[in-house]
Amino acid sequence: MKKLFILLFSFLTITAQAASSEGEEFKPGEMITHHIADDYTWYFADGVVLYLPVILIDNGQVNVFSSSNFYNEAHEVVPYKGYVMEHGHIYRANAAGEASEDKAGLYDFSITKNVASMFVSVALMFFVFFSISGSYKKNAGRAPRGMQSFFEPIVIFIRDEIAKANIGPKYERYMPYLLTVFFFIWFNNLLGLMPGGANLTGNIAVTLVLAAMTLLITVFSGNKSYWGHIFATPGVPKWLAPIMIPVELIGIFTKPFSLMVRLFANITAGHIIILSLFSLIFIFKSVAVGPLSVAFAVFMNFLELFVALLQAYIFTLLSAMYFGGAVEEHDHVDDMGHGDGGH
């Protein structure tokens, strides 16, 4: 962990010195935005940049080239092949070489920093869990060893304390999704804290897709009792149905919406706070501020390590609760006190 912060501190120092040498004022807002936003390049340190492939489909014509073509020797953004990059997006270039508002028929399938980071995390997950699967086959009937001994308690915890406790007897069909979403979020949260790491789980498009998957599984898992509680809530007078039905339907969408915003906001806020604390050194232009800024940043980074795990747990737990509500069988009681099922 100490080495991690030395690397990050060095990265910010080099960035600030480079800006000063060019006569530019250090702008923390631009530095922080550049870190948390998606981009066509993956910047690790001064002079260490990975230029990612640009893939454009323009009216049926496929154009593939490196994003390095958008920069000249002075690292200024320039047009290339009739396209120009502006504010993290690619547009057609007009006669003056500026971004055109006409984007009809232009589709961007480029491998951006967040996409590349997702490939890395998926490859890491494949490596980890194929290795664990091999260990289970090799050590059948024996005590777990290596990575298997580390991850097995986590898998058992998700099975027993999240899936079984919230879904019930039908938990097994949801275990693959719950395990995948937990480790995907956790791994990417941790990778995002590495120097030069991408802010994947702080990208609202990513959290939107995760929340949408939870929504779809919940809706398609809903049984008769689940939909009955939405369109004919037990114990509620029929004359309230025009009010209750819209409220219940809105509730179906607000639950995954909260999943999306919670993960996005917590991860992005953590990145902003840590980088802001380091930026104080260059804002005040004093080395004396360094120890205090680094101390607070170290504390925040340890806190973010906990938040990385916590957010994966909360997303998985709430997803399981939504699934459990969709498949649960309810015993309704009539006016005479008789149950209508479940016996």
What pLDDT is recorded for position 34? 76
With a CB cutoff of 8 Å and minimum separation 6, the contacts of 41 are 49, 50, 51, 52, 67, 68, 113
**What ranges do the domains of the chain cover?**
53-110, 114-327
**Of the ranges 93-102, 143-152, 154-163, 228-237, the best mean pLDDT one:** 154-163
Contact 88, 96 (CB under 8 A): no
Q: Mean pLDDT score of the chain, rounded to an integer?
A: 83
Alpha-carbon distance of 93 to 189, in angstroms, equals: 36
Lowest mean pLDDT among 18-27, 67-76, 138-147, 324-333: 18-27
Lowest mean pLDDT among 16-20, 54-58, 171-175, 307-311: 16-20
Amino acid at 200: L
Contact 212, 322 (CB under 8 A): no
Report CA torsion sign: 14, 18, 21, 27: negative
Helix (H), strand (E) at residue 120: helix 113-138
User: Residue 156 half-sphere exposure, CB side, CA atoms within 13 Å?
Assistant: 7
* Per-residue pLDDT tens over the stretch 321-332: 999 999 987 655
